[in-house]
Amino acid sequence: MTHLVPRRGAGAAVVLAALAGALVLSVAVGANPLSPAAVLDVLAGGGDDQSRYVVTELRVPRTVTGIAAGVALGLAGTLIQAFTRNPLADPGILGVNAGAAFAVAAGVTFLGLRDISALVWLAFLGALAVTLAVYVIGSSGRGAADPIRLTLAGVALGAVFSGVTTGMALSDPDAFDTMRSWNAGSLLGRDLDVLLPVTPFLAAGIVIAFLLGPGLNALALGDDVARAQGANVRVIRAGVIVAVTLLAGTATALAGPISFVGLMVPHAARWLFGVDHRVILAVSVLLAPTLILLADVLGRVLIAPAEMPVGIVTAFVGAPLLIVLARRRRTAGP
Amino acid sequence: MMDVGYHRLLLRIGAVSLPVRRRSLITAALLAAVLAALAVLSLGLGTYPLSPRQVILALAGQGGALDRTVVLQWRLPRTLAAVLLGAVLGVAGALFQTVTRNPLAGPDVLGLANGAFTGMLLVVATGTGDWTLLTLGAVLGGTTAAALIWLLAHRQGITGFRLIIVGIGVSALLSSTNTWLLLQVELETAMFASAWGAGSLNGVTATAVRGAAVCAIPLLAVLATLGPRLRQLDLGDDVATATGARPAGVRRGALAVAVALVSVATAVIGPVAFIALAAPQIARRAARTPHLSLGLSALVGGALLLASDLIAQHVLPVTLPVGVVTVSVGGAYLVTMIIREIRRYA
- A48/chain B closest Cα distance in angstroms: 35
User: Mean pLDDT, to the nearest integer, of B183-200?
Assistant: 86
Q: How far apart are CA B32 and CA A127, in angstroms?
A: 42
User: Mean pLDDT, to the nearest integer, of A127-132?
Assistant: 85
Contact list in A for residue B167 (CB cut-off 8 A) is none
| Confidence bin at B38 (pLDDT 50/70/90) | very high
Q: How far apart are CA B212 and CA B223, in angstroms?
A: 17
Contact list in B for residue A176 (CB cut-off 8 A) is 187, 190-191, 194
Residue B130, domain member (yes or no): yes
Q: Is B162 on the interface with A (CB under 8 A)?
A: yes
CATH number for B199: 1.10.3470.10
Residue B26, domain member (yes or no): no
Contact list in A for residue B106 (CB cut-off 8 A) is none
Residue B328, domain member (yes or no): yes
User: Mean pLDDT, to the nearest integer, of B332-345?
Assistant: 69
Amino acid B239: pLDDT: 67
For the entire predicted model, the pTM comes to: 0.78
pLDDT digits (tens, 9 = 90+) for A49-71: 888 888 888 888 899 999 999 99
Residue B321, domain member (yes or no): yes
pLDDT digits (tens, 9 = 90+) for B130-173: 777 888 888 889 889 888 888 888 777 666 667 777 877 888 88
Amino acid A2: pLDDT: 46
Q: Are A245 and A128 in contact, with CB atoms under 8 Å apart?
A: yes
**Of A152, A166, A171, which is closest to B338 when you measure between CB atoms?**
A152
- pLDDT winner (highest mean) among B26-35, B101-110, B323-332: B26-35
Residue B67, domain member (yes or no): no
Amino acid A332: pLDDT: 36
Share of chain B above pLDDT 70, in %: 83
As for the ipTM of the complex, it is 0.79
Q: Is B179 on the interface with A (CB under 8 A)?
A: yes
| Confidence bin at B91 (pLDDT 50/70/90) | very high
Q: Write the CA distances from A166 to A101, A147, A162, A248, B136, integer angstroms.
A: 10, 28, 6, 21, 25
- The DSSP 8-state label assigned to residue B156 in this structure reads S
Interface test with A, best of B175, B183, B192 (most A CBs within 10 A): B183
Residue B282, domain member (yes or no): yes
| Confidence bin at B4 (pLDDT 50/70/90) | very low
Amino acid B35: pLDDT: 93
Q: Which of A263, A283, A288 is nearest to A273 (CA)?
A: A283
- Sequence letter at residue B271: P
Total domain count for chain B?
1
Q: Is the pLDDT of residue A281 over 50?
A: yes
pLDDT digits (tens, 9 = 90+) for A204-239: 999 999 999 888 888 888 778 888 887 788 888 888
The DSSP line for A274-321 is -S-HHHHHHHHHHHHHHHHHHHHHHHHHHTTTS---HHHHHHHHHHHH
User: Mean pLDDT, to the nearest integer, of A307-330?
Assistant: 82
Q: Is the pLDDT of residue A334 over 70?
A: no
Contact map slice: B 258-277 vs A, CB within 8 A: 273-274
| Cβ-Cβ contacts under 8 Å for B293 (sequence gap 6 or more) | B24, B94, B280, B283, B284, B287
- A49/chain B closest Cα distance in angstroms: 33
Contact list in B for residue A332 (CB cut-off 8 A) is 159-162
- Lowest average pLDDT, out of A153-162, B7-16, B273-282, goes to B7-16
- B187/chain A closest Cα distance in angstroms: 7
- B217/chain A closest Cα distance in angstroms: 31
Amino acid B252: pLDDT: 81
The DSSP line for B291-333 is S--HHHHHHHHHHHHHHHHHIIIIISSS---HHHHHHHHHHHH
Amino acid B9: pLDDT: 56
| Cβ-Cβ contacts under 8 Å for A264 (sequence gap 6 or more) | A77, A291, A317, A318, A321
Looking at chain B, which residue has its C-alpha nearest residue A165?
B324
Q: Which of B126, B120, B127, B180 is nearest to B144 (CA)?
A: B120
Q: Is the pLDDT of residue B282 over 80?
A: yes
Boundaries of domain holding B95: 79-345
Q: Is B318 on the interface with A (CB under 8 A)?
A: yes
Q: Is the pLDDT of residue B3 over 50?
A: no
Residue B337, domain member (yes or no): yes
Helix A173-182 vs helix B187-198: crossing angle, to nearest 10: 80
Mean pLDDT, chain A, integer: 83
| Confidence bin at A331 (pLDDT 50/70/90) | very low
Contact list in A for residue B325 (CB cut-off 8 A) is 163
pLDDT digits (tens, 9 = 90+) for A71-101: 999 999 999 888 877 776 777 777 888 888 8
pLDDT digits (tens, 9 = 90+) for B193-217: 888 888 888 878 888 888 888 888 8
User: For chain A, how many residues are written?
Assistant: 334
Q: How far apart are CA B182 and CA A185, in angstroms?
A: 14
Q: Is B304 on the interface with A (CB under 8 A)?
A: no
| Cβ-Cβ contacts under 8 Å for B49 (sequence gap 6 or more) | none
Q: Which of A126, A284, A289 is nearest to A216 (CA)?
A: A284
> How many CB pairs below 8 Å do chains A and B form together?
153
- Sequence letter at residue B93: G
Looking at chain A, which residue has its C-alpha nearest residue B182?
A180
Contact criterion met (CB < 8 Å) for A167 and B169: no
| Cβ-Cβ contacts under 8 Å for A192 (sequence gap 6 or more) | A61, A64
Looking at chain A, which residue has its C-alpha nearest residue B100?
A334
Contact criterion met (CB < 8 Å) for B176 and A316: yes
Q: How far apart are CA B296 and CA A81, in angstroms?
A: 38
Amino acid B136: pLDDT: 83
Residue B18, domain member (yes or no): no
Q: Write the CA distances from A174 to A163, A169, A267, B60, integer angstroms.
A: 18, 8, 40, 46
Contact criterion met (CB < 8 Å) for A332 and B161: yes
Contact list in A for residue B191 (CB cut-off 8 A) is 170, 173, 176
